[in-house]
Amino acid sequence: MTDEHLPKPPAPRPPTNLRKHRRQTERNLAIGALVLLFLVGGGLIWYFYGVGAALAGWVCMGSGVALFGGLYLVLKLMEWWSNPRDE
């Protein structure tokens, strides 16, 4: 009896890099949140209250994003310092 009629096993897949996937997902979520915040939120402020209010809203939103971005960078720096490195 020959094995010609049996299906071939699938080719092995490369290993999954979960850290890379997490970084990409975090980046995509952050970009999406910023687009939603500035374009949709700023656009609605502009539509209902005018240009001056939209500019003030964008300044306030930008300040909030800068605050959270700074905190995120501090936490990432602490994570980088705490992980042992191969030397």
Domain map (residue ranges) of the chain: 22-82
User: E strands within 1-87?
Assistant: none
- The predicted-structure confidence for 15-65, as pLDDT tens digits, reads as follows 888 889 998 999 999 999 999 999 999 999 999 999 999 999 999 999 999
The pLDDT assigned to 10 comes to 84
pLDDT band at 13 (very low <50, low <70, confident <90, very high): confident
3 state SS of 42: helix
Tally Cβ neighbours within 10 Å of residue 85: 6
Q: Tell me, what amino acid is at 47?
A: Y
